[in-house]
Amino acid sequence: MKYLLICSFMLLAGCSSPHLDDYAATTPALNLEQFFDGELTAQGMVLDYNGKMTRRFTVLIKAKWQDNIGTLDEWFEYDDGELSERKWQIQRHPDGTYSGTANDVIGTAKGASAGAAFYWRYQLTIEMDDGPIDVTLDDWMYLIDQDHLLNKSAIIKYGLKVGEVVLMIKKQP
């Protein structure tokens, strides 16, 4: 029994997630207030639990900051014709952490950045064919250069990864 517990622990440790501190020395450093300022566009896809692409989408984002408060207006267009909107209100706190709310976010997103990475976690309501479901998103953003950011989000339900969203965000001139 002890051997089984040790093997299980080692297996789980090998599957551990990255930590924000892992990116502290990466450059260029991501400054949310600078990157998410002005007009941006994004292209992305939704993957199911097997990694199969189920949807593609584009997003128009208009972002602005005043003091430590940011507003991101997002308009999504999916390849099946569905349209949706999300409006984020993001606050940068004195300790450098962030919190945010949006129309389809349950409660408050909480996150922080280090080096070229930003991580936050939140619960989101997703509309499905048989009704809405609530999921958790582990949302990672990686600054590629001053104009491009890669966003990768694990979609989690009951503690299990059930899908993923991957998108590239580009600042517009």
Residue 39, pLDDT score? 98
Q: What is the mean pLDDT of residues 108-131?
A: 95
Task: Please state, for a pLDDT cut of 70, what percent of the chain lies above it.
Answer: 91
Q: What is the mean pLDDT of residues 157-165?
A: 97
pLDDT tens digits, one per residue of 28-62: 999 999 999 999 999 999 999 999 999 999 999 99
Residue 47, pLDDT score? 98
Contact 144, 150 (CB under 8 A): yes
Instruction: Say if strands 105-114 and 98-101 run parallel, antiparallel, or are unpaired.
Output: antiparallel
**Residue 92, pLDDT above cutoff 60:** yes
| Best CA proximity match to 139, nearest among 53, 17, 24 | 17
DSSP annotation of 146 reads T
Element (H, E) at 131: strand 131-145
Q: Is 51 helix (H, G, I), strand (E, B) or coil?
A: coil
**Count of alpha carbons within 13 angstroms of residue 57, beta-carbon side:** 22
Instruction: Map out the domains of the chain with their CATH numbers.
Output: 23-171 (2.40.128.20)
Q: What is the mean pLDDT of residues 138-155?
A: 98
Contact 58, 146 (CB under 8 A): no
Phi–psi pair at 49, nearest 5 degrees: -65, -20
